[in-house]
């Protein structure tokens, strides 16, 4: 399966596609994950790009290194994760990072969220959006800080398939941080014992520091939280979390993200600068000015 390909195999595949007739002057754009494809394919000109999915940030970076050694017009776009907060530089002019934690947090921090909220909740769209944003960040930041602490301290906590809805308590959507920590510890392969109370206190200390919450929160977590909030508010307290509902809301969120929203980001500016440096290779759509 493609997700099990090595960086070398990804690079070989990209070279083969570039070698097809008519592809010689197409930019190679490496994306981190398969969920990035529908978002970026609405923002870039797919007729002048070869889009490659690496299924992993490290593999995307390694594949880029292999390709940029002897090919022109190669670009990788990956999630910033906590790199910006740690002041970690990308290391290559061909490696670009999202403005916020990931592409989903970039979208959620844009006017697309207000458009989405208006689809699901009646009433004053601006007021509703501000309320939803506050609830999202209030909950997501605690989970984000826990993820960051795990990464910084090498705790190896397992966040895979995290059932966030189990730890949220409507109508105020208070997060049971200690229960969440106990759950994550319980499913993690940890040799050293961790005290959930101490870890919670450390998360709260971390939380008190001043960071951009959109850079702390993971987009996947925020979408899970958003599903619960929208379902609860739309159904007046009766909500049922389902994978189908999540996919529909995520799709609506992506559709709400306009090219004009993307144009105001640092990532868009970075791609413009990359195109200037790597002409005649192009990536972005050509937008007509009316």
Confidence at residue 28, expressed as pLDDT on a 0 to 100 scale: 98
Confidence at residue 2, expressed as pLDDT on a 0 to 100 scale: 78
Residue 286 lies in a domain: no
249 and 116, same structural domain?
Answer: yes
Query: Within 10 Å of residue 210's Cβ, how many Cβ atoms?
Result: 4
Residue 63 lies in a domain: yes
139 and 77, same structural domain?
Answer: no
Residue 87 lies in a domain: yes
125 and 251, same structural domain?
Answer: yes
| pLDDT tens sequence across 66-123 | 999 999 999 999 999 999 888 777 789 999 999 999 999 999 999 999 999 999 888 8
230 and 126, same structural domain?
Answer: yes
272 and 157, same structural domain?
Answer: no
149 and 89, same structural domain?
Answer: no
The answer to pTM > 0.85 is yes
Residue 132 lies in a domain: yes
Residue 287 lies in a domain: no
Confidence at residue 188, expressed as pLDDT on a 0 to 100 scale: 87
In the chain, the number of structural domains is 2
Angle between helices 177-186 and 125-153 (to 10 degrees): 40
134 and 86, same structural domain?
Answer: no
Q: Quick one: which of 15, 35, 33, 37 has its CA closest to 24?
A: 15
Residue 284 lies in a domain: no
Note down the domain range covering 63: 2-99+265-277
Flag whether pLDDT at 235 surpasses 90: no
Q: Dmax over Cα atoms in the chain, in whole Å?
A: 62
137 and 87, same structural domain?
Answer: no
Write out 63-93 in H/E/C secondary structure: HHHHHHCCCCCEEEEECCCCCCCCCCCCCCC
Q: Give 49's strand partners.
A: 27
Residue 86 lies in a domain: yes
Q: What's the burial of 37, exposed, middle or buried (CB within 10 Å: 0-12/13-18/19+)?
A: middle
Q: What is the mean pLDDT of the segment spanning 23-49?
A: 95
69 and 114, same structural domain?
Answer: no
Mean pLDDT (the chain) is 90
CB 219 within 8 A of CB 101: yes
CA distances from 92 to 21, 61, 138, 197, 229 (A): 29, 9, 35, 41, 40
139 and 73, same structural domain?
Answer: no
Q: What is the mean pLDDT of the segment spanning 41-59?
A: 96
Residue 282 lies in a domain: no
186 and 63, same structural domain?
Answer: no
111 and 249, same structural domain?
Answer: yes
């Amino acid at each position: 399966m493609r997700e099990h390909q090595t960086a070398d195999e990804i690079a070989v595949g990209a070279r083969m596609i570039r070698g097809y007739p008519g592809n010689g002057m197409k930019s190679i754009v490496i994306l981190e994950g398969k969920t990035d494809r529908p978002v970026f394919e609405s923002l870039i000109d797919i007729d002048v790009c070869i889009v490659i999915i690496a299924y992993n940030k490290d593999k995307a970076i390694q594949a880029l290194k292999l390709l940029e050694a002897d090919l022109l017009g190669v670009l990788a776009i990956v999630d910033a994760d906590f790199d910006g907060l740690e002041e970690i530089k990308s290391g290559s002019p061909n490696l670009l990072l999202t403005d916020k934690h990931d592409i989903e947090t970039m979208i959620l921090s844009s006017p697309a969220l207000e458009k989405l909220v208006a689809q699901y909740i009646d009433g004053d769209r601006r007021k509703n959006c501000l309320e939803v944003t506050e609830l999202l960040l209030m909950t997501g930041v605690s989970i984000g800080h826990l993820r960051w602490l795990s990464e910084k301290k090498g705790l190896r906590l397992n966040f895979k398939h995290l059932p966030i809805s189990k730890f949220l308590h409507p109508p105020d959507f208070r997060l049971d941080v200690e229960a969440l920590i106990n759950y994550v510890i319980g499913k993690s392969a940890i040799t050293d014992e961790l005290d959930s109370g101490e870890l919670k206190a450390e998360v709260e200390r971390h939380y008190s520091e001043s960071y951009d919450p959109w850079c702390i929160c993971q987009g996947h977590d925020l979408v899970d939280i958003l599903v619960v909030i929208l379902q609860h508010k739309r159904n007046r307290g009766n909500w049922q979390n389902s994978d189908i509902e999540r996919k529909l809301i995520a799709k609506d969120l992506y559709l709400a993200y306009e090219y004009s929203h993307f144009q105001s980001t640092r990532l868009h500016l970075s791609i413009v600068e990359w195109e200037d440096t790597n002409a005649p290779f192009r990536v972005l759509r050509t937008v007509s000015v009316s």
